[in-house]
Structure 1
Amino acid sequence: MKVFNYISEAFGELKDNVTWPEWAEVQRLTIVVAVFSILFALATWGTDELCAKAIAGFFNLIKG
């Protein structure tokens, strides 16, 4: 019974006390998150490629 009360009260809180954003704001923020995710992925990929080339160059230098 405690679990049922907890779930019921949680849904009540979500329904009555949470201020939900407007649909236009949700769409705008979703685009912002997608753009930053792509930029961060590209930055991570670029850093990985740069480090891989630096390490390969280092080992080529050692090999002679």
Structure 2
Amino acid sequence: MAGVITYVKESFEELKNNVTWTPWSEAQRLTVVVAVFSILFSLAIWGIDTVFSRFIKAYFGLIN
């Protein structure tokens, strides 16, 4: 159990002293960029899925 406690303490110490954190303003800007691209990508996939779905329905409508 002491090994786990030592590990956690050393991990926090490393995060506090050795990690370079992104400034808050840049993190917010990058979060917005990721959100916008995620929305655009999901809309593109939805559009392609809709087109393929209609194509498949039309194809099976022709062979029935």
TM-score in same-fold range (> 0.5): yes
Structure 1 runs of 4+ aligned residues shifted over 2 Å read none
Aligned length: 63
Separation of aligned partners in 2, 1:23 and 1:17:
18
Please give the TM-score of this superposition, normalised by the length of structure 2: 0.93
Runs of 5+ unmatched residues, structure 1: none
How many percent of aligned residue pairs carry the same amino acid?
Answer: 56
Letter in 2 for 1:36: F
Q: Secondary structure at the match of 1:20?
A: coil
Please give the TM-score of this superposition, normalised by the length of structure 1: 0.93
Which residue does the alignment assign to 1:54?
A: 55
